[in-house]
Structures are given as C-alpha cells and as structure tokens.
Structure 1
C-alpha cells in the first residue's frame, strides 16, 4: 500500500466516522433543545430529584447522567460540558457526575457487547450500577472534596506531571 492509498483510506474512514457521529450528535442536540423548550428535561429531572438529592447533586445533573448512561462517555461529555458552560453545574457536581459515569456508562452498548461474548448481562449491569452508586455516594459525603476542589483550582483535569502544574 503506497502513501497516497493509505491517506485516501484514512481520510475516507475518518470522514465516515465523523458523519456517523454527526448523525447521532446533531439529532441528540436538537432533541435536547426541544426538550428544554417543552420543559421535558425539568419533568425528567423531577423524577430523578430524590436520587439526585441523595447524592447532593442538582436536578440539572440528571440529563447529562441519562445521556452518559444511554449513549456513553463521548456523547455524555458534550452535555456535561454544555451544562458546565451554562453554569448549571459546579466543580463538585461535575466531579461526582464524572465519577458515576466513569463507572457506569454506555449501559446498553457495553452490556450488549459482553452478552455477545457470553457474559451475563444482569451481573454486568448490577455490578457496575452498585459500584457506581456506592463510590459516588461515598465521595458525595467525603469531607475532603472541598479541599480537593481547592487543590485543583476548580478544574477537573489533572496535569500528568508535577512541573506542569501552575502554582
């Protein structure tokens, strides 16, 4: 395979992937805007309010969590970023939502893949859910979370090395 053919295959594959992602992301963003306009998000969030209260999270965190659970981290991240930019979620909220979604995301897709290779879907879902609920609950009650936020300077990203940190 020569370089020109390699570049053509790489470019074609990349464009196909971007197009597939756009087919999912754009309708999701439109649905989110329609849902906001029709107050559907508030209604869905209201149903999750008791759960959100247990974790000391605002109701505005419910939709990003639902998207992350359903469609995975890539798509959920867009909604999390949007919620943060719009000021709906603070550092603590973002931290807890990310912890929960790291442990329990893309429920249908991941579970389906594991079922396809012979795993028990119930064990996978319940195991991941229970772990996510326990860890997120423990961190939501942890008194050091405020100190951690201060250490992080209100940012979620952690520099990879000590000399990269701004003091």
Structure 2
C-alpha cells in the first residue's frame, strides 16, 4: 500500500469515527438540554443526593458522573465539559468525577466486550465499580484536606 492510499484510509477512518461519535454525542446533548429545560435534571439530582453525599461532591456533578459511567469518556465528554462550564463545578467535583470515571467508565459496554472474550461478567463489573467507588471516596477526602490546608495558608 502506498503512502497516499494509507493517508486516504487514515483520513476516511478518522472522519467516520468523528461522525459516529457526533451521532451519539449530539443527541445526548440535546436530550440533556431538554431534560434541563423541563427541570427533570433537578428531580434526578435530588434522587441521586445520596451519591453526592457519599463522595462529598455537589449534586450538579452526579449527572455527568452517571453519563460517563454509562456512555464512557468519549461519548460523555461533551456532557461532562458542558456541565463543568454551565454549573461551574468545583475543582474537587471535577477531580472526584474524573478519578471515578478513570476506573469505571462505560461500565456496561466495556464489561460486555470483555465478557465476550471470556472474562467473568459479574466479577469484572463489581470489581470495576468497587475500585472506582473506593478510590473516588478516598480521593474526595484527600482533596478536601488539601483544599482546606490551602485555604488556611492563603488566609
């Protein structure tokens, strides 16, 4: 295969990937806007208050956490970025959100993919969720102490 053909294949493959992501991300963002306008996000946030209390993060950061958990980082990135900008999420909220999602993004899709090649579905699912929860919980405590110490030294 010559260099021009390789570039052409790379370009068309990249373009197809971008279009496929747009097909998923744009409707997700539209749905999020509709849910926000109908105040359904507020209702969801109130029901998810135990999660935000557990991680000691704002209620506004729980919805992007769930989107990343379900759809993954690539597809959930638009929602995460939009929520961070619109809701003015704190640095702590963003750190805990990202730390959780590093270990446990796209939990259904990834777990099913690994299960098709022989991994134990439930063991993988529970392990990923447990590791993400424990790591994010302790990270929220450490970040809180760091920010408290910084506030005391800045004052």
TM-score by length of 2: 0.88
1:19-77 residue CA offsets vs partner (Å, 9 max, x unmatched) = 11111011111111111111111111111101211211111111101110111112222
Structure 2 gaps of 5+ residues are none
Higher relative contact order (CA 8 A, sep 6+): 2
1:97-131 residue CA offsets vs partner (Å, 9 max, x unmatched) = 11111111111111011100111111111111111
Give the secondary structure class of the aligned counterpart of 1:89: coil
In the alignment, does 2:104 pair up with 1:104? yes
How far is the alpha carbon of 1:148 from its aligned partner? 8.8
The residue aligned with 1:165 is none
Q: Is the 8 A contact 1:139 1:145 kept in 2?
A: no
The residue aligned with 1:139 is 139
The residue aligned with 2:128 is 128
Structure 1 gaps of 5+ residues are 151-167
Tell me the distance in 2 between the aligned counterparts of 1:62 and 1:116.
30
Query: Root-mean-square deviation (CA), in Å?
Result: 1.8
Q: Is the 8 A contact 1:92 1:149 kept in 2?
A: no
Q: Is the 8 A contact 2:21 2:75 kept in 1?
A: no
Alignment size in residue pairs: 150
Tell me the distance in 2 between the aligned counterparts of 1:35 and 1:68.
17
Distance change in 2, residues 1:149/1:41 (3 Å): farther
Tell me the distance in 2 between the aligned counterparts of 1:137 and 1:129.
12
TM-score by length of 1: 0.82
How far is the alpha carbon of 1:149 from its aligned partner? 7.4
